[in-house]
Amino acid sequence: MTVGTDPVLEQTWHAQRRWSLAASTAKASVQRWRLVRLVLGVAGAISVTAGTQVSGDPGKVLSLIGALCVGLVPLVTSLRLPPARIEAWTRLRSVSEGLKSEVYLYLTVSDPYAGAGAERRARLSARRACFEDEASELLGLLPSLDPAEQPAPPAVHDVDGYVRERIDVQADGYYRTQVSRMRRGLARIQFAEFVLALTGMALAAVAGTVGGGRLGAWVPVVTTVSASVMVYGYGVRYQENLISFARTAEQLRRLRDDRVARMPLDPAEEARFVERCENVISIETQGWMARAAHADPGPPQ
């Protein structure tokens, strides 16, 4: 069937786009409020301590600002980063990825989409309804799409096209980019923690040997800032995502290379190849959901 003449396929792909956009919006909100929480925690710790060391009205203002920032940290966590919001984000992305996987299985006539055209279309429609029914409370978060903005389904007519449009894009594009991003983020977090640890040790040593009480007051500030940075890094899960993304990319490349080595394959073997690839991606999605669901331990105490 030519892409663009199948209304069920087009409807499913348009639905996938809406769920994907909603998930991206939710992700951006979570990332923004995590950064706000980090800034408030750092600014509060610094301002409160600075206020105790500055005399007069400026000191009172700094103390007030610091207290306000510190007080807003748990408020941001409870109102803007509750578990329900994190769960909504991950479930939006899960439905989006699930629909995408169904579309690629459908286009390659892989299980469960072997058979006659009418049966395949009915099954795709039913699977889409199942995904959306399981997350029906999130339907209100989906954006509307202008007809001119509705994307065409992937131009996949065979397994070779599937490899180009799906596996190459995921393994050599998305996952490679994410691995680089996680590696850079992890390096920044580790560097910040290292610098803060050295700073805290230096302040404690100077305060202990020279008797600098004013310097000693900054030791717990450095500790609080370090804890805030650790909480932020824990929320993004740089280390775990780096390992998982790299492993998934390598698994997809191996499946792709193994297919090339065993060519030519009969239709049943080609279908099993597609199913294995989609299973690898699905496992990664489920793992990411589990990591994200436990990514916000709350502000440092």
Convert the pLDDT of each residue in 166-196 to its tens digit.
999 999 999 999 999 999 999 999 999 899 9
* pLDDT digits 0-9 by tens, 137-159: 999 999 998 777 788 999 999 99
Q: Contact at 8 Å (CB) between 216 and 284? A: no
Query: Could you give the number of structural domains in the chain?
Result: 1
* Mean pLDDT of the chain, nearest integer: 90
For residue 59 the two structure tokens come to 């000191």
Predicted TM-score (pTM) of the model is 0.87
Q: Kindly state whether residue 277 falls inside one of the protein's structural domains.
A: yes
Q: Kindly state whether residue 2 falls inside one of the protein's structural domains.
A: no
Confidence class of residue 295 from pLDDT cuts 50, 70 and 90?
low
Q: Give just the sign of the alpha carbon dihedral 282, 109, 3, 276.
A: positive
Which candidate, 66, 59, 58, 63, places its Cα nearest to that of 39? 66
Q: Kindly state whether residue 196 falls inside one of the protein's structural domains.
A: yes
Q: Kindly state whether residue 83 falls inside one of the protein's structural domains.
A: yes
Q: Kindly state whether residue 252 falls inside one of the protein's structural domains.
A: yes
Is 211 exposed, middle or buried, given 0-12, 13-18 or 19+ CB atoms closer than 10 A? exposed
In sequence order, the 6+-apart residues with CB closer than 8 A to the CB of 166 are 104, 154, 156, 277
Question: Which domain covers residue 93, as residue numbers?
Answer: 7-293
Q: Kindly state whether residue 225 falls inside one of the protein's structural domains.
A: yes
Q: Kindly state whether residue 299 falls inside one of the protein's structural domains.
A: no
Element holding 46 (H helix, E strand): helix 7-53
Q: Kindly state whether residue 255 falls inside one of the protein's structural domains.
A: yes
